[in-house]
Amino acid sequence: MSEPVAHIELINDLTTLVGSSYILTNETKMEPYSKGFRFGSGSALAVIRPGSLVEIWQVLQACVEADVAIIMQAANTGLTGGSTPDGDDYDRPIVIVNTMRIDQIQLIDDARQIVGLPGSTLFGLEEVLAPYGREPHSVIGSSCIGASIVGGVCNNSGGALVQRGPAYTELSLFAEIHGDGTLMLVNNLGIDLGTTPEEILSNLEQQRYGGADIQHPEKRASDNEYHERVRQIDADTPSRFNNDGRRLYESSGCAGKLAVFAVRLDTYPIANKQQVFYVGTNDAQVLAKMRRDILSTFKTLPVSGEYLHRDCYEVSKKYGKDSFIVIDKLGSKYIPKMFSLKRTVDRIADKLPFLPKKMSDRIMQYMSYLWPNHLSERMEDYHQQYQHHWILEMNNDGVDEARAYLAEFFESKEGDYFECTPEEGEKAILHRFVAGGAIGRYHIMNSDRVGAMMTVDIALRRNDEKWFEELPAEIDELIDAKFYYGHLFCHVMHQNYVLKQGVDAKQLKQRILASFDARGAEYPAEHNVGHEYAAKETLRSFYRQLDPTNTFNPGIGKTSKLRHWSVKQP
């Protein structure tokens, strides 16, 4: 049977499985799934949107039988293109399996743990847990744009919350493909759900299990050692990074090399008392000293410590205003709808040659000018006074600890702080969150005069004293604008460069990354390799172990895109 005929038969089989409304083969309609949120794109044979766990299993069976590559995809909010194809140099067609229709969240053990199915989101989890006085592992950041629970685990994402670390579990339900091409379902969820794949998946989705079926094996449902690791301020390795072999386990860190049906995760009690402190200084070493003091002497670890440079503050204020207002006024749950609308507008506008690219961003930017200043007066005063801004969030006993420490510290150190009102605290954190998107908007709106945009997601050593980057003059002169923000306690920095016209972004990035190699830093820190970074040996070995046939997400981390990890074109 010729390949085109086999592919037509596969599409027919998949259509029978999920229904014609949930399979896409038109290139334009597939674009929201085949093009990354910020990076990467490629062609696909089809996009499938199954409606149940059993349907996912049946789709996988059909795809394995047809010998096509498979990309498991949830919200497609990753920043390095890790859940889409990349280019057209694969040796097989690709089928994208989008799981967002299956968004169920199940509570177990009085909501002290949850089971998240593949399309469930962090925002949805916040809503489900709130009546129980609990909160999920991650409550800021990507949750606002609809990132999935499973996607976070598969990419060891997050870690901004100092007490909790990156998303991690050793309890999951997944499908793997053995070296002989056999598709197998592995139930390591710690719940007795039956024996056959169909029985296990159906029982889980229908919640046909009771308390007696829930086991409590000696396996982690979170990185419960991270709070100790982040306190080790004299260690010469980073606190968290995607290539960290200590937290690569089955679904955790798999980057789509397994088909994950469910993960089991710990939840956390909502704090009785919370307070945000806003710190400003013109001396980077003041923040370095504070970081070391707080991590080494405080009895209660901070909730988070979000850094924002003055230039990043300014660009976030101007170019992130529309996202800020949408989240502030309408809530985080509206953001996925906004991004869907943006993609539709851009898809239509791209067909009209007289309209500029990224039309939706331009419309939203001009509309944002109609809205008055959305930031507090005290934040604006600090913007004028200080180069470095640090949003320090404490809870419970840590509030009084920080209050006493800051009062004494700034008696003799350059800079100052204020205690945020609840509204100011929310706005400060939200202002920091929209920075990433704002930088992208800045690049779009200034595209006629600047070159490429380049990002680095870097994890510095825990004992690295020079956390704020100072580029050599020969590199600095190639850059039009630099924007720095990040998670200062764990030394994870997001560094964004808008280059001057004509500068080779790939070549410059390698020069910058080489300087971080020399310092013992790791990258990426939390965005995972996607198709932007080369996976180091620890990750490469892990991927090959999970997927010996290289069927799932081939090419991830700049690895081979070919069957059985071949290095030669067929």
CA distance 136 to 113: 9
Q: Read off the pLDDT band of 160 (50, 70, 90).
A: confident
Select from 269, 250, 249 the least CA-distant residue to 260: 250
**pLDDT per position as a tens digit, 413-468:** 999 999 999 999 999 999 999 998 899 999 999 999 999 999 999 999 999 999 99
Q: Are 492 and 459 in contact (CB under 8 A)?
A: yes
Q: What are 302's two structure tokens? A: 């901070």
Question: By percentage, how much of the chain surpasses pLDDT 90?
Answer: 84
Q: Which two tokens stand for residue 70?
A: 């498979």
- With 0.75 as the threshold, say if the pTM is over it: yes
pLDDT tens string 29-46: 898 899 987 778 999 999
Q: Residue 70 above 70 pLDDT?
A: yes
SS3 134: strand
Q: Are strands 134-135 and 46-48 parallel, antiparallel or unpaired?
A: unpaired
Round to whole Å and give the CA distance between 483 and 224. Answer: 33
| Cα separation, 101 vs 468, whole angstroms | 42
- CA–CA gap between residue 401 and residue 399 (Å, rounded): 5
Q: Is the pLDDT of residue 570 over 50?
A: no
**How high is the mean pLDDT of the chain?**
94
Q: What is the pLDDT of residues 179-221, one digit of tens each?
A: 999 999 999 999 999 999 999 999 999 999 999 999 999 999 9
pLDDT at 142: 44
